[in-house]
Chain A
């Protein structure tokens, strides 16, 4: 039952983030959507992922607020496209619904027991062992990517004056 409540909250927040004209409300809706998805993870026994999702969503929302204030978009209405873009939005809506239909129809039904089951193999220790023993290469690639992004982000965002 709680899972469905969180699902409704999340879906409403995502709808608001997609169609809201004010950037600050869109950011707030994105944050609520992230919190809602984390809560849904909690209902299926993924506590570790729920906490990660909450942290990432909150930090993401803070950074969105920071950058939108910096770029002067925080209080400004979000620019929308022309008639051509509106056609694309309708096309994207159809694509999005088709995407949801394909995923929904093609996947197995989630077992009812999964909604409130906390299994022993989903605790933090097991996840850590799985990550370091079976997915070490993926973990290293992710770490290297994060490092490169840190360096690359600084290089891209440098001012012209510092090139000399």
Chain B
């Protein structure tokens, strides 16, 4: 049942990523998705008898989540500098 909850958290993160229209909303969705995936690895490690490996994978995913958060903030700052707003529709402006 705990795995169902972890899967639901990950699924809701996916919903959040699609429904939000700003960079910060997208980052919130990604964070929720990462919360769910970390939980899955930790619980899978416990249920399969590889507790420590699950914890280590969870740690790596959590810190990887921080990496994407920093990159997201940097892109949002760049976008705000160019367009004065951080709408997802303006994201293509970064290619020019």
Q: Which residues of A come within 8 Å of B, CB atoms?
A: 3, 7, 10-11, 14-15, 17-19, 23, 26-27, 30, 33-34, 37, 40-41, 44-46, 48-49, 52-53, 56, 60, 63-64, 67-68, 70-71, 73, 78-81, 85, 88-89, 92-93, 95-104, 107-111, 114, 119, 121-122, 126-127, 130-131, 135, 138, 142, 145-146, 149-150, 152-154, 156-157, 159-160
Contacts and interface: CB of A to CB of B under 8 A. Distances in A.
Closest 7 CB pairs between A and B? A96-B11, A100-B7, A103-B7, A104-B4, A153-B74, A79-B21, A157-B77
Contacts of A119: 51
B87 A131 contact: no
B18 A85 contact: yes
- The CB with the most chain A CB atoms within 10 A, among B5, B22, B70, B85, is that of B5
Contacts of B28: 17, 26-27, 30, 64
B76 A67 contact: yes
Interface in B30-76: 31-32, 35, 38-40, 42-44, 46-48, 51-53, 55-56, 58-60, 62-67, 69-71, 73-76
Contacts, number: 222
Contact of A49 (B1, B31, B53, B59): B59
Given A79-B25, A107-B3, A154-B74, 13 more contacts: A11-B5, A18-B12, A40-B39, A64-B27, A64-B28, A93-B11, A99-B10, A108-B48, A121-B52, A142-B60, A149-B71, A156-B74, A156-B75
Contact of B3 (A30, A103, A160): A103
7 contacts: A26-B25, A40-B39, A70-B80, A81-B18, A97-B8, A100-B4, A156-B75
